[in-house]
Chain A
């Protein structure tokens, strides 16, 4: 992020001040009685984006999506889509379509009739309806099943019917509520790429609600991390993962080692944070404007920590000694829980690049090891 000088805005319209956002959420609040589900949020989503609203259950992400669809009316604020204020437009007049988490396929209609439903409502001639339904069904590879009822389909097939039904009207925006949650892992991965490919080909703006951070990271151009009705951070997957702005975001996305400390020394390039529980100084590349003596947190991702059986001889910075307490073997990588001399546990992920000789990986249980990281690998967080 710091090194980038010229940034192309072709695929990053949010960086181009000349672009007008396609969806504008302005000061939107939604309360249900005393409960505030969405709390005065502002959001700009640009044309052709695949935007993810990410957060735990009850964070307000689904309510925000439902307000875009028109199923909920904002308590205050407005939502503009393609230059038209949608706040008081009923769902059946909005140029958006939604793919429901439960898919909400009409059980009394065949696959074909489900997909044709929206086109019929527009009063299109029968020939055109048939044509577009056929084209859509062949795109999602469901043509042979067009006469089946939803209950005769597998979960993955139902998901594709729901997708076809929501895309066939060529909406300006497609809203997806947990689109992959009901699929098993293998199918989910495959469908993820299909969704991205589809979005790329159709050029429709996608807004995806998900609680699955992996899904959000692989799918989207940008992510808004939500908590308690507000955005914690909005950024590209890389920004969110590598440069979280708060402990909450760092914790929510991936796993992280968090150390509480006090800024104790800083120069042009580095900040030194005195961490009491480690009884050591952590040196981090400058990325924050924290004053000397202020309380901060240092976050280091497990895969950015180097694990070595012997003391590294080239550096003394950010090197700690400990004992392997636990190993989680994932096949492609292993996660080691290292207990440092002062009892603090550090999590390290190490790729299993080589097949282990005599069954031994880089470190074994109870082995004494050294952990360390580059100053550029950690993040200093002030909130």
Chain B
């Protein structure tokens, strides 16, 4: 009897340990997100609600002891009003979204056939192709953007080659245009489109395509009625992975666009450094976050509703 009892106790203890272990496993990533994502976010939010001052740090504090026993909380919405009233910011946001949207579509158009052909190649070739997709990450991102500057410059490789071939006699302006920004973004973010698409297409059952053909669908029809709808999750995942970072991109528009292409990342950088206006810069960042997060949340909401029904 005693033995049975202690056995039961042991089991209960083990159960408790297991459930506390589960808590630990969940808690670690939770803490990570809290410390490295939420905390900085609230700091930025705090600064965006302050006023710019010539001091160290260059913004007014949120809490202040005004006098003995009186704590003042100071929240200023001026920065957001300023963003709304000055057309520069609105236009820059819109321009950023335009450039990142077009880049996302270009990445999709280039990446989809690449991902599809990787899935359809033999296992050995598949690994080589995947390696080639990931290979650029092994070199510094900055270095690769500088390389594009060398390629696109007036005296760069492309212009020299075209002149040498006699196709043109004056260099074409490639660098410091919207075109060069598109080239840079599509080149940089293409792997982020290909990999989720590949992961999604790999799961696509070949027998579904055979079934479509068997029922009389020509290859193009099979693609439109089966392959494309089945790969929508991959398309959405890849598009988000390209669209979100591309919208806030700073290095590419700065190096390849020069002063000619305004994107919000550059504005943000200039507010922080050249203007030393941390509160406005923080407000720019907060609005950017909202612009990016809201459509994503909306999408997730729709999707969870769909899977419920």
Partner of A169, one of B210, B216, B225, B230: B216
CA distance A118 to B214 in the complex (A): 8
Chain B residue nearest to A90 (CB atoms) is: B213
Would you call B226 an interface residue if the criterion is a C-beta within 8 Å of the partner chain's C-beta atoms?
yes
**CB < 8 Å neighbour of A69 from B214, B217, B225:** B214
Q: How far is the CA of A65 from the CA of B304 in the complex (A)?
A: 41
Q: Would you give the 0/1 interface string for B202-237, flagging 1 where the beta carbon is closer than 8 Å to chain A?
A: 000101101111111110010001100110000000
Q: Does A92 contact B (CB under 8 A)?
A: yes
| Contact status B205-A91, CB under 8 Å | no
The answer to whether B215 and A117 have CB atoms under 8 Å apart is yes
> Which B residues lie within 8 Å of A102 (CB)?
205, 207
In the assembled complex, A243 has its CB within 8 A of some CB on chain B? no
A230 to chain B, nearest CB (A): 26
- In the complex formed, the residue of B with least CB distance to A71 is B210
Residues 184-213 of chain B: 1 if any A CB is under 8 Å from the residue's CB, otherwise 0?
Answer: 000000000000000000000101101111
Instruction: Provide the residues of chain B in CB contact with A117, threshold 8 Å.
Output: 212, 215, 217, 225
Set of chain B residues within 8 Å of A14, measured between Cβ atoms: none
Assembly CA distance A206 to B211 (angstroms): 17
With A and B bound together, what is the CA distance between A69 and B207 in angstroms?
12
B-chain residues with CB within 8 Å of residue A70 when the two chains form the complex: 213-214
Q: Is A122 an interface residue (CB 8 A)?
A: yes
- Cα A98 to Cα B212 in complex, Å, equals 10
Question: In the complex, are the beta carbons of B229 and A91 less than 8 A apart?
Answer: no
Q: What number of A residues sit within 8 Å (CB to CB) of B?
A: 24
- 8 Å CB contact of A104 from B211, B225, B229: B211
Distance of A104 Cα from B205 Cα, bound (Å): 8
Most buried by A among B210, B211, B212, B218: B211
- Residue pair B213, A108 in contact (C-beta under 8 Å): no
List, in ascending order, chain A residues with CB within 8 A of B218's CB: 92
Interface flags for A96-125 (1: CB within 8 Å of B; 0: not) read 111010101111100000000110011000
- A207, chain B: closest CB distance, angstroms: 14
Instruction: With A107-B230, A108-B229, A121-B221 as known contacts, state yes or no: A100 contacts B216, CB within 8 Å.
Output: no
Whether A165 sits at the interface, judged by CB under 8 Å, is yes
A121 engages B215 (CB within 8 Å): yes
Q: Whole-angstrom distance between the alpha carbons of A81 and B142 in the complex?
A: 63
Given contacts A102-B205, A165-B215, contact A91 B230 (CB under 8 A): no
Please tell me if the beta carbons of A104 and B216 are within 8 angstroms of each other in the complex.
no
B228 to chain A, nearest CB (A): 10
- Which A residues are CB-close (under 8 A) to B214? 69-71, 91-92, 96-98, 166
Given known pairs A92-B216, A118-B216, A121-B215, the reply for A104 and B208 (CB within 8 Å) is yes
| Chain A residues in 8 Å Cβ range of B226 | 106
**Chain A residue at smallest Cβ distance from B209:** A104
The residue of chain A having its C-beta at the shortest distance from the C-beta of B216 within the complex is A121
**Complex Cα–Cα for A105 and B208 (A):** 7
A:138-193 near B, CB below 8 Å: 165-166, 169
A108 & B216 in contact (Cβ 8 Å cutoff): no
Minimum distance in angstroms from A164 CB to a CB of chain B = 12
Q: A106: shortest Cβ distance to chain B, in Å? A: 6
Which A residues touch B229, using CB under 8 A? 108
B-side contacts of A106, CB under 8 Å: 208, 211-212, 226
A93 (CB) vs chain B CBs: closest residue: B216
Chain A residues at the B interface, C-beta cutoff of 8 Å: 69-71, 90-93, 96-98, 100, 102, 104-108, 117-118, 121-122, 165-166, 169
The 10 closest A-B pairs by CB, nearest first: A118-B215, A121-B216, A104-B211, A104-B207, A91-B213, A92-B213, A108-B229, A98-B214, A92-B216, A121-B217
The 29 sampled A-B contact pairs (Cβ below 8 Å) are A69-B214, A70-B214, A71-B210, A71-B214, A91-B213, A92-B215, A92-B218, A93-B216, A96-B214, A98-B210, A98-B211, A100-B207, A102-B205, A102-B207, A104-B207, A104-B208, A104-B210, A106-B208, A106-B212, A107-B230, A108-B229, A117-B212, A117-B215, A118-B215, A118-B216, A121-B216, A122-B216, A165-B211, A166-B214
